[in-house]
Amino acid sequence: MQILAIRGENLASLAEPFEIDLASDPLRSAGLFAITGETGAGKSTILDAMCLGLFGNCPRLGAGGVDDDVPDASGETIKASDARGILRRGCALGRAEVDFIGLDGQTYRAGWTARRARGQSDGRLQQVSRQLVRLSDNQVLATQQTEVNNEVVRLSGRTYEEFRRTVLLAQGDFDAFLVANAADRASTLEKVTGTEIYRNISRRVFERHAEAQAALEGLMARRGERQVMSDEDRDALATERQELTLTGEEEAKAIEGIEADLRRHEAIEAARNRLRQAEQAVADAEQAKANAAEDFRRIDIIDRALPLRAEQGEAATAARTLTEAQDAATKAAETLQNATESRRKAKDYHVKALDGHDRLERVFKEYGPILDRAATLDSQIGDATREASEARAAVSQAAGEKHKAEVALKDLQKEQDDATREKDRAEAEVARDPRMEKLAVEWTGIEECFAERARLMEVLKKAKGDRATALNDKRKQEAAIAEREETDREDKACLEELDGVIAAKAQGLDDLEAGQPEAEKDRLEGAARLVERMRDEAQAAAQADDDGVEEAGRLADAQKDAEAAQALHDAAESDRKRTEGAMEALRRPLDRAEAAATQAASDMRARLEEGEPCPVCGSADHPLMHDEGFARAARELREDMVAEEARLRDAQGRISDTGRRIASAAERASAARRGAEQAAGRATTARGRLSAYAADLAANGLVDAPGSDAWTIEAIAGAGEDLAGKVEAVKERIRRCTELRGALTAERRNRDTIAQRCGARAAEVGTMKAALAEAVQAFALAGQEIGAAEEDIERVDGRLAPYLAVLDASRDDLETQPAEIQSRLARSVTEWRRNAESLAKARERLVELGPRIASATTRMEQAAEAEAKVTRESKDREDRLSKLTVERRGLLEGEATGTHRTRVNEQRKAAQAILEAATTALSKAESTLAGATTGHETARRHVEACERRQREAEEALGKALEGAGIERTKLDAVFSCAPEVISRIRERVKKVVDQGLEAATALRERKKDLDVLIEEGVPERDVLTLRNVRQPLLDARRTRDNRLGAIATILEADDKVREGLKELDAEIAKARATSETWSAINAAIGARSGNKFAQIAQEVTLHMLVERANQHLADLKPRYSLVKADNLALHVIDADMAGEVRSTRSLSGGERFLASLSLALALSRMGGQGGVPATLFIDEGFGSLDGASLDLAIDALERLQSQGRTIGVISHVQAMKERIPVQVLVSNRGGGRSTVRLAA
């Protein structure tokens, strides 16, 4: 990163805009330059501007201490650390800009601006605005505070903290790293070199190790929860599944045959239902046709009327056209009458307008000569008026100029008097004390002496405090060491006593555990579990026997119910067949009787006559000529048919009920049979398991086992009670072992705690002794610092002594009240400088005022002569204007010429316009009359033609109606009917016709379908029989499927468990390897706080920093070299003292500055990711160096400059100014204002 330019305005004391261009000569070629000026002039403000432009912050605002509220010019308060506080008082806008070259080689400009509301100096402070611009294309990259900071960090490779310690070595921060304690030094190393990443890595390693350990423990817990089936149990389930599958295949074939017969029955019954529906559809179609007779009639009329649409339309059009022509003829007659009257009125108005126009033309010609003379006079009066006005203005202007000249002369004379008095006063003040001139010239060095003395007093005060603190620490450490040694002796005695107690309790525990009570308890509990299982199996066998007896009773009851229901079913079936035969015998007579009783047959019989042949059969004999016999016969047959249908429904109902009862009885019998078989199987299984458990119990040998058949429920209960007593006894022994083991653990833990306390105390005593030695050394070093500080103070006081005489003060006064002495001297210097400046200004002013007063006297005399001349010219022009005005009043009665001419001309123009309008109106009226006459004749001829057309159309329509056989009223009704109504009628007629055709077709198809199905064959067994046979097969299949599903579920679950265990074992192996890896890494660098790896990185970084700093220190101060101690401590090796290792605090002010400078230069080469900075600014204490050390420091800076780096130094030291020719001068102009200029 390279700084190219720094700009600013209204920042603290730097009010005027300034620019320090490092990319242009002489700064670019010089490489090393100084920033000089008086104390408080604003030298450090230039570096503040650089930090504000780049990061929006500056070192003076980031110093430690409380962040107090401070008053602002707006009446509000802001924080002391607020960057806006650097805005100069009385200003509404302040800015800072920095041009720099980033890591990518591009040039950028970063800006910072602070504003007040409404641009007022007392306005409220607004939010700071930031901007980052790439100068190659003027593209704005960021405008927000955070965005600009992030981009600057990215482009420069340095954070703000890194920038402060690598590019800018700010005032107050210079030796912060050298004198910092271990914690602050570690923090600085992290901030400057970016080693905080190692702390984050250490924390992350610790977290990953904890995560890996937790994952492994979780997997191990899951592994302990999984259980799998034995291979024998899996084989038994597989065999059972194979047997069930074979049985199911045979039953499936039987069910398929039954279901095929049932589908055949369903198809035949469905065909019969469809046939009945088709017959009903034919009857519905015939009825629909009868209901639509009116629609058929209307469609016939419509079809005959539609061809006459043209004749009917022509007749209607002819009638409408005739009516319109008659209306038009009436309107044409009215128009002709109105046009005749309008022409007469227009003629009268034209005659009157012509008379008025001729009269006004005569008047206008008579006023011509008078108007010409009046116009000439008006022109002359206008010129005279303008000249008189100009003359009056010239008089007024001349008088004003004369007055201004008089006032200016008086002001200059007064200013001359004031400057003379100020010169006399300033000369007297400056000459009053000749010593003040020398004091003012050397004031900058005197201020540096006062600053150095104040710093030395602080060093002396701090050294005395350090000595008192070190003495206090020494006494505290000695007392604490004695106290801990006494406590250690007491703890060691307690340890010996605890060793005896632990040995006694350990022997007692070994005696109790000799019989292995835990193993004995496990064997007894295993036997108890066997007895418990035997009791469960014995009870299960007894329960299975009881269930078998109960199921046998249910089977007998179901068989009896099935036989009774079968008898009822057979009787109902016999009744059904008999009833169906009776209904078949009644159906044909009933159909014939009902056909004879219909309305159509009744109408035909009504037309029969005695002796005449029948139109149907041709017989002359009519035995059934009347309707009463047919109706009565039909009613009797219908009543018989209804009774038979009721008996058929009753028989069918009884068949259905008995069928359900038979099926239910069969189902119950099947269930009872299966229940008995299952109960027998359960009893056998339970007794088999009981025998197996009894054999295992006998092999255990803990219970006296009877024969396998003698294990009754009572014998099993007795064995369980015996085992329970033995288990309680062994549990008591285990409880006593646990209690003794817990007590032994507590005693050992207590002993370990005391031992750990002793160990920790020993380490603590060692630390305290080291601290004691350090306190002793600190006490000695503080004494050395006190002596060195007192010597330096004496030296500074000797330099200040000659100047105390100005105030009649002594060195004792300087000792007691140094700040007051400095303040009084500063006020005297300021007053002398102010008087000297006033004297110079007064003399310059007097020299300047002499020529100006002579010039002002000349201007006043010239103004008086000009005033008299313009007054005479003004009087002559006023007389001429008066004569012309009198003559003009005698013409046109004093009226203005233009006004009179305009008024008469307007009247003439108005008469001309009226005449032209009357002429136009007359011409238009005559034209309108001619058009109305023509229109009236045309309308009359059109009426005659329309009357002929109407007569011809009516005759043609009458002939067409006669040919179609339709009346005129019906024709009008048809054509008045909406098209959508006619369409709906046609659709209804078409729908009725289509319905009849579709019904007839469907009836033929349904009869054909039924005949085909019957020919293919009807199943031998009826539907009820087939369903009764199928139901037990379906029940068996459902039970078998449930069992197969259960077996599949059990085996699948076991397979998943087995497969899951394989994956889980692989996961456990992987997790264990991961855990072990992270455990090793964590042991090396991991820590919850992150300190372990961070400390390693900081140690390495500090070692590299010391090596590089010693390279610079060898040039600056060969006597000393830096060395890294434990815990990031820094010491110096004094080559002049036989390599003695000394504290950095024992160095003098100048020595500490050189050591700090070496560290700062080394830090500037290490900090950030941006490489070595091309620009370096140093703002710290070269004034503490003697001549030789100062030369070495400047030589070191020049060597850095020769490496291509630009270095700026802020200093008051005269030798620095002499060695560095290129300087940025910050000059105090008074009133808290300073200016910045470049000197080379």
The per-residue pLDDT for range 760-804, each reduced to its tens digit, is 677 677 777 767 777 776 777 777 778 877 777 887 777 777 777
Q: Give the H or E element holding residue 1210.
A: strand 1206-1210
Q: Which domain holds residue 930?
A: 305-366+897-976
What average pLDDT does range 753-757 have in this prediction? 76
Q: Write the single-letter amino acid at 823.
A: S
Q: What is the pLDDT of residue 195?
A: 62
Interstrand relation of 1234-1239 and 69-71 (parallel, antiparallel or unpaired): unpaired
- Provide the mean pLDDT of the chain: 78
> Which domain CATH number covers 475?
1.10.287
User: Which residue, 894, 789, 807, 150, is CA-closest to 439?
Assistant: 807
User: Which residue, 81, 163, 97, 87, is CA-closest to 130?
Assistant: 97
Residue 1048 pLDDT > 60: yes
User: Which residue, 196, 216, 213, 217, is CA-closest to 1080?
Assistant: 213
What average pLDDT does range 1191-1213 have in this prediction? 75
Please check whether residue 299 lies inside any domain of the structure.
no
Q: What is the pLDDT of residue 627?
A: 45
- The whole-angstrom separation of Cα 627 and Cα 641 is 21
- Between 914 and 280, the more confident residue is 280
Cα 752 off chain centre by: 57
Q: Give the H or E element holding residue 395.
A: helix 368-431
- The whole-angstrom separation of Cα 957 and Cα 308 is 8
Please check whether residue 57 lies inside any domain of the structure.
no
Residue 1040's pLDDT band, with cuts at 50, 70 and 90, is: confident
Residue 1125 pLDDT > 50: yes
Q: Are residues 534 and 677 in the same domain?
A: yes
Residue 1170 pLDDT > 50: no
Interstrand relation of 107-115 and 93-101 (parallel, antiparallel or unpaired): antiparallel
Residue 299 pLDDT > 90: no
Q: DSSP alpha helices (H): ranges in 432-516?
A: 435-441, 443-512
User: Which residue, 212, 155, 204, 388, is CA-closest to 1073?
Assistant: 212
Q: Are residues 941 and 956 in the same domain?
A: yes
Q: What is the pLDDT of residue 971?
A: 67
Please check whether residue 1099 lies inside any domain of the structure.
no
Q: Are residues 647 and 558 in the same domain?
A: yes
Give tens-digit pLDDT for 454-499: 888 888 888 888 888 888 888 888 888 888 878 888 887 887 787 7
- Number of separate helices (H) and strands (E) present in the chain: 27, 17
Per-range mean pLDDT, top range of 21-25, 202-206, 231-235, 664-668: 21-25
Residue 915 pLDDT > 70: yes
Residue 1166's pLDDT band, with cuts at 50, 70 and 90, is: low
Q: What does each C-alpha distance from 308 to 317, 675, 963, 970 come to in angstroms?
A: 14, 93, 10, 12
**Residue that is last in its domain, among 686, 708, 730:** 708
Per-range mean pLDDT, top range of 169-173, 547-551, 859-863, 1077-1081: 1077-1081
User: Which residue, 308, 273, 49, 164, is CA-closest to 975?
Assistant: 308
**Number of independent structural domains in the chain:** 4
Q: Are residues 509 and 525 in the same domain?
A: no
* CB-based contact 114:87 (threshold 8 Å): yes
Taking CB atoms within 8 Å and a gap of at least 24, the contacts of 1062-1065 are: 1064/219, 1064/222, 1064/223, 1064/226, 1065/223
Residue 331 pLDDT > 50: yes
Q: Show the tokens assigned to 777.
A: 């050394």
Per-range mean pLDDT, top range of 88-102, 191-205, 1091-1105: 88-102
Residue 110's pLDDT band, with cuts at 50, 70 and 90, is: very high
Q: Are residues 644 and 694 in the same domain?
A: yes
For 1097, other C-beta atoms within 10 Å of its C-beta total 22
Q: What is the pLDDT of residue 609?
A: 58
- The whole-angstrom separation of Cα 753 and Cα 194 is 41
What average pLDDT does range 34-55 have in this prediction? 88
Q: DSSP alpha helices (H): ranges in 701-712?
A: none
Q: Give residues with Cβ within 8 angstroms of 335, minimum separation 6.
A: 932, 935, 936
- Between 92 and 595, the more confident residue is 92
Q: What is the pLDDT of residue 600?
A: 44
Please check whether residue 223 lies inside any domain of the structure.
no
Residue 96 pLDDT > 90: yes
Q: Write the single-letter amino acid at 164.
A: R
Q: Are residues 331 and 380 in the same domain?
A: no
Structure-token match 């965005």, residue found: 147
Please check whether residue 334 lies inside any domain of the structure.
yes
What DSSP assignment string belongs to 860-921?
A: HHHHHHHHHHHHHHHHHHHHHHHHHHHHHHTSGGG--HHHHHHHHHHHHHHHHHHHHHHHHH
Please check whether residue 1135 lies inside any domain of the structure.
no
**Residue that is last in its domain, among 976, 995, 1014:** 976
- The whole-angstrom separation of Cα 179 and Cα 164 is 17
Q: Are residues 685 and 567 in the same domain?
A: yes
What average pLDDT does range 16-39 have in this prediction? 87
- The whole-angstrom separation of Cα 205 and Cα 1088 is 9
Q: Write the single-letter amino acid at 330.
A: T
Residue 107's pLDDT band, with cuts at 50, 70 and 90, is: very high
What average pLDDT does range 504-532 have in this prediction? 71
Residue 958 pLDDT > 80: no
Q: Show the tokens assigned to 422.
A: 């100020």
Residue 133 pLDDT > 90: yes
DSSP 124: P
Residue 1138's pLDDT band, with cuts at 50, 70 and 90, is: confident
Q: What is the pLDDT of residue 53?
A: 94
Give tens-digit pLDDT for 802-858: 777 777 777 777 778 888 888 888 888 888 878 888 887 887 777 787 777 878 788
At residue 118, φ and ψ (nearest 5 deg) are 60, 15
- The whole-angstrom separation of Cα 689 and Cα 679 is 15
Please check whether residue 1092 lies inside any domain of the structure.
no
Q: Are residues 564 and 685 in the same domain?
A: yes
Q: Write the single-letter amino acid at 66.
A: V
Cα 929 off chain centre by: 85
Please check whether residue 170 lies inside any domain of the structure.
no
In sequence order, the β-bridge partners of residue 129 are 113
Q: What is the pLDDT of residue 458?
A: 84
DSSP-based helix, strand, coil % in the chain, nearest 5? 80, 10, 15
Among residues of the chain, what percentage have pLDDT more than 90?
Answer: 5
Per-range mean pLDDT, top range of 149-153, 407-411, 1163-1167: 149-153
Q: What does each C-alpha distance from 665 to 547, 564, 662 come to in angstroms?
A: 20, 10, 5
What average pLDDT does range 1176-1187 have in this prediction? 70
- The whole-angstrom separation of Cα 223 and Cα 217 is 10
User: Which residue, 790, 786, 766, 767, is CA-closest to 778?
Assistant: 786
Residue 112's pLDDT band, with cuts at 50, 70 and 90, is: very high
- The whole-angstrom separation of Cα 555 and Cα 1033 is 18
User: Which residue, 23, 88, 86, is CA-closest to 59?
Assistant: 86
Q: Give residues with Cβ within 8 angstroms of 107, minimum separation 6.
A: 4, 99, 100, 101, 134, 135, 136
Residue 135's pLDDT band, with cuts at 50, 70 and 90, is: very high
- Between 676 and 1225, the more confident residue is 1225
- The whole-angstrom separation of Cα 258 and Cα 5 is 105
Per-range mean pLDDT, top range of 110-114, 239-243, 308-312, 796-800: 110-114
* CB-based contact 874:391 (threshold 8 Å): yes
**Residue that is last in its domain, among 976, 997, 1024:** 976
Q: What is the pLDDT of residue 747?
A: 77
What average pLDDT does range 418-438 have in this prediction? 79
Q: Are residues 639 and 495 in the same domain?
A: no
Per residue, what are the HEC states of 142-169?
ECCHHHHHHHHHHHHCCCHHHHHHHCEE
Q: Are residues 588 and 664 in the same domain?
A: yes
What average pLDDT does range 1047-1070 have in this prediction? 78
For 785, other C-beta atoms within 10 Å of its C-beta total 22
Interstrand relation of 77-79 and 69-71 (parallel, antiparallel or unpaired): antiparallel
Residue 1083 pLDDT > 50: yes
Give tens-digit pLDDT for 686-712: 777 777 777 777 766 666 656 555 677
Residue 877 pLDDT > 60: yes
Residue 273 pLDDT > 80: yes
What average pLDDT does range 669-690 have in this prediction? 77
Residue 114's pLDDT band, with cuts at 50, 70 and 90, is: very high
Q: Are residues 876 and 919 in the same domain?
A: no
Give tens-digit pLDDT for 365-383: 766 777 677 777 777 777 7
Q: Are residues 477 and 494 in the same domain?
A: yes
Residue 226's pLDDT band, with cuts at 50, 70 and 90, is: low
